[in-house]
């Protein structure tokens, strides 16, 4: 009986197919395919033992050891987990690292349990290569970068565009000391996979927000970063009071909503307070002790007021943080790079400029694609 194989097509990700990753948890944590669920054939310790047997005694001995380790009730539980996943998601496909032995064994055990599902030819490795290739190909396409002072709602502008790529969402980080997400940061591999998946849905030109090479704990891939460095830019300019309101929404209101949903009211509030105070403390070297102490006092007062139902109180410390730290830093970067901008204006005019640029750059690419 030859069990079915499915080609490692990126449409599997576009279609949001259910992916069963049968690699060990340690492998899954290092990087998985977007949307995959980890239901391993071997746990970490079993994988370690089988790996030693393979190196010392060869494949046949390793397979025999694996069959001894995963047998009886252990095997029944693992097969039951796969069957349950397939019952909830009948379009599920199976993969391991290279689409070889582990996914084939899982596929066979599922078949023996009365369920037939395909495995991905080439497995995780081939699909990862194709996702990374998406990023490299994107580096050769027209790209527009949206710049502006902190609080100019550049991310919101990106979300208004069909061809906008939110790198901060891929990194689960807003790109500043206060931008840490309550959930765990992705691995570098998972960040690259999220980028590749986001680019899958965009034809022609695309638009990103101005970022440093490092976004939180991850790095923008080199070729893509070089494309961003040489790309044309537009700059959003908004007054301080407008930016303050936006910053409060991003770093206070939205943050509180996530913490509350993830951890509940009491623990969520405690964790958010800790994040805000820690983020400010990390700026000590650049702010200096005296200015940091002043901002910390204002932040403590704002948190106390927030507890009473007044989140707007945070603007008392956010305003000097913007005007004394973030704004001078951004202006220094502008002077350093001597950048020219295709358009400079308010948020709405920049949105229209980005749309016009996208249309002008995307139409020729689409026509070329039709000719080919």
Q: Which residues does the annotation mark as catalytic?
A: 96
DSSP H/E element including 369? helix 347-371
Positive or negative, the CA dihedral 161, 167, 168, 169 is positive
Question: Read out DSSP for 258-296?
Answer: HHHHHH-HHHHHHHHHHHHHHHHHTTHHHH-HHHHHHHH
Paired tokens of 167: 């790198």
Query: Which residue is listed with tokens 């460095």?
Result: 229
Would you put residue 258 in left (φ > 0), alpha (ψ -120 to 50) or beta? alpha
Paired tokens of 314: 């945070």
Residue 369 has φ and ψ, to the nearest 5°, of -65, -40
Query: Degrees (nearest 5) of the Cα angle 141, 146, 152?
Result: 160
- Reduced to 3 states, what is the DSSP secondary structure of residue 173? strand
- Cα distance between residue 295 and residue 324, in whole Å: 11
């Amino acid at each position: 009986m030859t069990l079915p194989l499915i080609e490692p097509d990126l449409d599997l990700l576009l279609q949001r197919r259910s992916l069963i990753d049968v690699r060990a948890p340690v492998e899954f944590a290092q990087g998985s395919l977007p949307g995959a669920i980890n239901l391993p054939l071997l746990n970490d310790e079993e994988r370690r033992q089988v790996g030693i047997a393979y190196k010392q005694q060869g494949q046949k001995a390793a397979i025999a050891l694996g069959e001894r380790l995963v047998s009886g009730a252990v095997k029944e539980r693992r097969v039951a987990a796969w069957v349950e996943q397939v019952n909830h998601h009948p379009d599920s496909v199976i993969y391991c690292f290279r689409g070889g032995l582990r996914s084939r064994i899982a596929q066979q055990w599922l078949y023996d349990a009365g369920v037939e599902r395909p495995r991905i030819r080439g497995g995780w490795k081939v699909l990862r290569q194709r996702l990374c290739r998406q990023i490299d190909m994107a580096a050769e396409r027209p790209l527009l970068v949206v710049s502006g002072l902190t609080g100019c709602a550049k991310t919101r502008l990106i979300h208004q565009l069909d061809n906008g790529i939110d790198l901060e969402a891929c990194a689960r980080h807003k790109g500043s000391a206060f931008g840490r997400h309550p959930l765990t940061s992705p691995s570098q591999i998972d960040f690259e996979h999220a980028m590749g998946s986001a680019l899958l849905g965009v034809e022609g030109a695309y638009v990103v927000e101005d970022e440093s090479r490092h976004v939180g704990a991850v790095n923008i891939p080199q070729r893509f970063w070089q494309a961003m460095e040489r790309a044309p830019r537009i700059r959003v300019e908004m007054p301080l009071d407008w930016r303050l309101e936006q910053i409060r929404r991003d770093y206070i209101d939205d943050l509180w909503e996530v913490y509350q949903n993830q951890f509940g009211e009491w623990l969520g509030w405690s964790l958010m307070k800790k994040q805000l105070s820690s983020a400010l403390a990390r700026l000590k070297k650049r702010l200096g002790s005296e200015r940091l102490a002043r901002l910390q006092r204002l932040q403590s007062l704002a948190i106390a007021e927030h507890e009473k139902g007044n989140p707007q109180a945070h603007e008392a410390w956010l305003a000097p943080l913007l005007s004394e730290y973030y704004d001078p830093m951004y202006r220094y970067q502008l002077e350093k790079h001597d950048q020219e901008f295709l358009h400079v204006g308010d948020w709405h005019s920049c949105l229209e400029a980005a749309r016009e640029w996208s249309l002008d750059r995307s139409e020729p690419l689409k026509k070329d694609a039709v000719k080919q």
